[in-house]
Each structure stands twice: as C-alpha cells, then as structure tokens.
C-alpha cells in the first residue's frame, strides 16, 4: 500500500497497512458494550480543522479506548458528553483493534502525552447512555471527507492587545479577537515585542452539525518548511496554520518579468538597498494599475520570505501579499496561489524548430535538498528559449533525460501545447510559452507527460 502526499509516494509500514485494512473492513466488525466514564472530548488535528470527532473512554478495568464520532453529529452529541461522568457505551470495531492498537499515529501519541495515559483500543461509538439520556449515533460514514478550508485572509497591521508565554509557546491576543500562538522560534521571537502584526489566516468552511474547538485561534508557523519522512514541503496555510508577514517601505523602480516573460516581480528601492517581491502572474494587471498613479511615492509592502523548494538552505524569495499607500491597500494572491494554481493550454498541438538561444540554468543548486534524485546545475533547468521567442517549459523528470543532450546553439524540434494567457496576466516579453509533448534532439525523441496531466 502506497501513501501519497505532495505528489510523492511512500510505502506504508506493514502494521499501518494492517490497521487501515481492519478499520475499513466494517463487514467484519463486532459490537461490544462497556461501562466506565468519559475521560476526554477529542478534536481533529489543526491540519484538518479541529472539529469534535472522538472521545477517550475509560473502561471499568482502567484501560482506555478512543471512540470515533461522525463530525456532522458533533453538535447533537455534545450535550451528552461531560468529562468525568459515568457512561455506558455501545461500540463497534475490529476485534483486535478494540483490544490493542497496532499503530499509534501522532494524534493518539499527543493525546496520551496530554492526558498522561496509554490508549489500548480504538473503535466507533455506536451509542452512549449518560445522565442526559441515550444518544444513538446515526448510520453514516464516520470518516470526514468534507473540505474544511477555503483559502485564506490577509490581516494587516492588527493591534496586539497583550502577549503571553506558556511553556515553549508564545501567544498574541489581537484587537480583532484573534488569538495567535506558536513556538518560540524564527520570527515568532521578535514579533512578541511588536505593537501590531500582519499575518495570514485560513478561512474555515462552516459545516452543519460540526463543533469546533475554537472559532478564532490560529497556530502561526515560525519557519520556511516542514519535513515529512524524506520529503520537505513548504509551510502554507494548510489547516489552521498561518504565517506572519514582514513589512517594508520603499519606492517602486520597475515591474519585471520571470523567465517565461510574464510579469511577476517588483523591484523596490528601500533604505537597505533594492528588494525584489514575487507575486502571482495572474495579479499582474491589478499590481500594475495600483502602482501607476503614484509610482514615485513610498509604498508599504507586506510579504513572506521563503524558498521555492522549501529548503532552508535554498535561495530565498519575498512572496508579496499586499501593497499599501495612504488609505489604499491592494491585497493579492500570495505564495499559496502562486505555487498551486493550474494553467490553461490550447487543445491543438503546435510545432516549432530552431536553435536553442538560452537555457535557464540556476546559479547554484541546494545539494542537501530532499529531492529523490541528485541535483546538479545541469539537470535543474526548468525552461529554455528557442529562436529567442519560444519558451519551452521543462519538468524535472524531462530535465534529467535532456541534461546531456542540449546546449545553446543546438538545433531541436518541439511539439507541444501553447499556453494561454490567463486573466490578469501580462506577457511583457511577448514570448510564446510551450509545454512540450515531444522534443527531438540529435535524432532522439524525448516524450513529456500526457496532455491530461498538464498543470
């Protein structure tokens, strides 16, 4: 069994595979009845939305079980749940897992640490009898598949009412009633002394019947990346994780194009020298219109510094979230949209031939990056230009194959799909942008992924 995350596949350990199979095979589940008391009411992780989805039940013999509850029934069942109260429960589950968990995920481990207990079994709550009466769980899927988040909001220059430190966490209590918290690391150290803070927070979809742990509490990420297994991925607004934004004043020198020719960067003169701010090309027209009126004036730029491959040792970029001047503010798509949006291509194939006039090699590569192949400057290019006018986009797998065959001046043939200019984009260099289907060089044909995979 392979688990996919961020486009990478990982073979799950056998005990995890076995537990998943047993949990899903409900046709083989048994029913048990237990007397005991409610030890804790549990909520899903921050990444999933922190909604009520389980209880920890202490049986008469002193052992503990985690019993799942359908999230959509959280509001109905909550009045029947009182921590410390005696209860009778009817549960269903796999016979082995009801008695002994084969694999304890991070959520269960954190629960054990917080409650100072050991959880022995897991199953589904079917009904519970307390002093409030009997509640029977309705027949429906326990697994939550509903989207919990819908983008994010940009909060600028919000006043900090007061701060607090608790163990290894910092807390900010904001004038808009938000509570922010995060570990004492990175920019979360310096922002503890700030009178006002700018940040992004996720927007939660409100679902009927759900009970949320908090409506306005957000964990703030202190760093650039997180590591899962062998993979390093960007910190985003996934779940209830937000980001602090930096702020800088400066005057705009120029709007710049990326390697494809699309406007996606601002050059800004500040007291500390020139800074460059990256933005989603689909925001180019809005940015251009906003800065045209008062180009010579001082603007305030709100941004987050990160790296494209999310590794701390890689080159950093300043991803722009907002620009302000006087009482006017432009909020734009930030890093999350810039790295994640799809691109439209024409259905019909186009063909081009000529000489390579430029290959977009990086200045250097991060050899300690966690990619599954050895990075070199030669195999890390992501585009090249044909005849000074056609930009050919290259994915990493294709770059590995082409690395030993292409060079500037080499004659090639390309068949592929022409990229459409999206709403809001500005093609400053008037290049044609192509995602190749095939590239022919030295009589050898290299094939890209099929059309349906184009993003």
pLDDT digits (tens, 9 = 90+) for 205-260: 778 899 998 888 888 876 544 444 444 444 444 455 788 899 999 999 999 999 89
> What is the DSSP code (8-state) at residue 363?
S
Of the pLDDT bands very low, low, confident and very high (cuts 50, 70, 90), residue 146 is: low
Tell me, yes or no, whether 177 and 32 share the same domain.
no
Report the CATH number at residue 358. Answer: 2.40.50.140
Domain-located, residue 105? yes
Average pLDDT for 144-172: 83
Write out the two tokens for 327: 């009482």
Q: How much of the chain is in helix, strand and coil states, percent to nearest 5?
A: 15, 45, 35
pTM of structure: 0.74
Report the CATH number at residue 62. Answer: 2.40.50
Structural domains counted in the chain: 3
Tell me, yes or no, whether 286 and 260 share the same domain.
yes
What pLDDT score does 361 carry? Answer: 80
Domain-located, residue 141? no
Average pLDDT for 26-33: 94
**Strand 345-359 relative to strand 383-386, pairing:** antiparallel
Tell me, yes or no, whether 196 and 94 share the same domain.
no
Domain-located, residue 5? no
Degrees, nearest 5: CA angle 98-101-107: 115
Out of 136, 169, 192, a domain closes at 136
Instruction: Evaluate if residue 50 carries a pLDDT over 80.
Output: yes
Determine what percent of the chain is predicted with pLDDT higher than 90: 55
Could you tell me if residue 370 is left (phi over 0), alpha (psi between -120 and 50 degrees) or otherwise beta?
alpha
CB atoms within 10 A of CB 259: 17
What pLDDT score does 296 carry? Answer: 72
**Number of residues written out for the chain:** 455
Domain-located, residue 77? yes
**DSSP E strands, 216-284:** 217-221, 225-228, 231-234, 241-257, 263-270, 273-278
Tell me, yes or no, whether 183 and 58 share the same domain.
no
Collapsing DSSP states into helix, strand and coil, what is residue 134? strand
* 91-105, 145-159, 277-291: segment of lowest average pLDDT: 145-159
Tell me, yes or no, whether 28 and 73 share the same domain.
yes
| Cα dihedral 282→234→20→12 (10° resolution) | 120
Instruction: Please indicate whether residue 174 or residue 47 has the higher confidence score (pLDDT).
Output: 174
What pLDDT score does 434 carry? Answer: 94
CB atoms within 10 A of CB 196: 13
Average pLDDT for 24-39: 95
Tell me, yes or no, whether 34 and 156 share the same domain.
no
Domain-located, residue 4? no
Those residues with Cβ within 8 angstroms of residue 305's Cβ, 6 or more apart along the chain or in another chain: 224, 246, 316, 317, 318, 319
Taking a C-beta distance cutoff of 8 angstroms, is the pair 204, 305 a contact?
Answer: no
User: What is the rounded CA–CA span in Å between residue 44 and residue 68?
Assistant: 10
Domain-located, residue 168? yes
What pLDDT score does 449 carry? Answer: 63
**DSSP E strands, 307-389:** 317-325, 328-331, 345-359, 383-386
**In sequence order, what are the beta bridge partners of 292?**
none
Segment 319-348, tens digit of pLDDT: 899 999 999 999 987 554 434 445 688 989
Tell me, yes or no, whether 82 and 122 share the same domain.
yes
Of the pLDDT bands very low, low, confident and very high (cuts 50, 70, 90), residue 141 is: low
Domain-located, residue 234? yes
Of the pLDDT bands very low, low, confident and very high (cuts 50, 70, 90), residue 14 is: confident
Tell me, yes or no, whether 177 and 118 share the same domain.
no
Instruction: Evaluate if residue 275 carries a pLDDT over 90.
Output: yes
Domain-located, residue 2? no
Instruction: Evaluate if residue 452 carries a pLDDT over 50.
Output: no
**Strand 52-59 relative to strand 169-174, pairing:** unpaired
Tell me, yes or no, whether 44 and 85 share the same domain.
yes
Alpha helices, DSSP H, located in 360-443: 396-402
Tell me, yes or no, whether 327 and 430 share the same domain.
no
Tell me, yes or no, whether 319 and 356 share the same domain.
no
Tell me, yes or no, whether 327 and 348 share the same domain.
no
Environment class of 78 (CB within 10 Å of its CB; exposed 0-12, middle 13-18, buried 19+) = middle
What pLDDT score does 362 carry? Answer: 76
- What domain range includes position 440? 342-364+376-447
Measured CA to CA in angstroms, residue 323 lies from 73, 190, 290, 296, 327 at distances of 43, 23, 9, 14, 11
Segment 378-401, tens digit of pLDDT: 777 889 999 999 999 988 778 888
Collapsing DSSP states into helix, strand and coil, what is residue 292? helix
Out of 77, 101, 136, a domain closes at 136
């Amino acid at each position: 069994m392979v688990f996919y995350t961020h486009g990478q596949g990982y073979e799950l350990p056998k005990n995890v595979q076995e537990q998943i199979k047993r949990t899903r095979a409900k046709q083989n589940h048994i029913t048990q009845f237990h007397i005991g008391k409610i030890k804790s009411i549990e909520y899903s992780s921050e990444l999933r939305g922190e909604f009520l989805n389980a209880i920890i039940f202490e049986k008469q013999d002193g052992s503990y079980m985690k019993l799942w509850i359908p999230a959509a029934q959280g509001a109905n069942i909550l009045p029947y749940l009182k921590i410390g109260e005696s209860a009778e429960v009817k549960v269903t589950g796999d016979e082995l897992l009801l008695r002994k968990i084969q694999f304890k995920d991070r959520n269960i481990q954190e629960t054990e640490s917080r409650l100072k207990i050991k959880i022995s079994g897991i199953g589904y709550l079917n009904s519970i009898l307390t002093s409030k009466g009997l509640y029977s769980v309705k027949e429906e899927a326990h697994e939550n598949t509903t989207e919990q988040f819908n983008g994010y909001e940009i909060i600028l220059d919000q006043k900090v009412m007061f701060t607090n430190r608790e163990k290894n966490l910092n807390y900010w209590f904001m004038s808009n009633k938000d509570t922010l918290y995060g570990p004492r690391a990175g920019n979360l150290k310096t922002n503890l002394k700030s009178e006002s803070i700018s940040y992004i927070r996720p927007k939660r979809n409100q679902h009927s019947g759900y009970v949320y742990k908090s409506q306005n509490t957000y964990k703030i990420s202190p760093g650039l990346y997180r590591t899962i297994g062998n993979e390093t991925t960007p910190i985003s607004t996934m779940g209830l994780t937000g980001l602090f934004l930096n702020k800088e004043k400066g005057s705009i020198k120029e709007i710049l194009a990326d390697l494809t020719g699309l406007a996606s960067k601002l050059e800004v003169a500040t007291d500390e020298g020139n800074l460059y701010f990256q933005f989603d090309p689909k925001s180019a027209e809005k940015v251009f219109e906003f800065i045209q009126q008062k180009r010579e004036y001082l603007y305030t730029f709100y941004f987050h510094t990160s790296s494209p491959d999310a590794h701390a040792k890689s080159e950093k970029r300043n991803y722009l979230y907002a620009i302000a001047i006087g009482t006017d503010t432009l909020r734009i798509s930030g890093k999350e949209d810039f790295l994640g949006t799809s691109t439209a291509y024409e259905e019909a194939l186009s063909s081009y031939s000529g000489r390579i006039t430029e290959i977009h090699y990086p200045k250097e590569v991060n050899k300690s990056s966690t990619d599954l192949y050895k990075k070199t400057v030669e195999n890390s290019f992501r585009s090249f230009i044909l005849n000074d006018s056609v930009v050919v986009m290259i994915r990493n797998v294709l770059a590995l194959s082409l690395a030993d065959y292409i060079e500037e001046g080499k004659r090639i043939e390309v068949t592929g799909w022409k990229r459409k200019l999206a709403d809001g984009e500005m093609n400053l260099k008037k290049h044609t942008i192509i995602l190749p289907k095939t590239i022919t060089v030295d009589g050898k044909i290299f094939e890209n992924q099929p059309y349906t995979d184009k993003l």
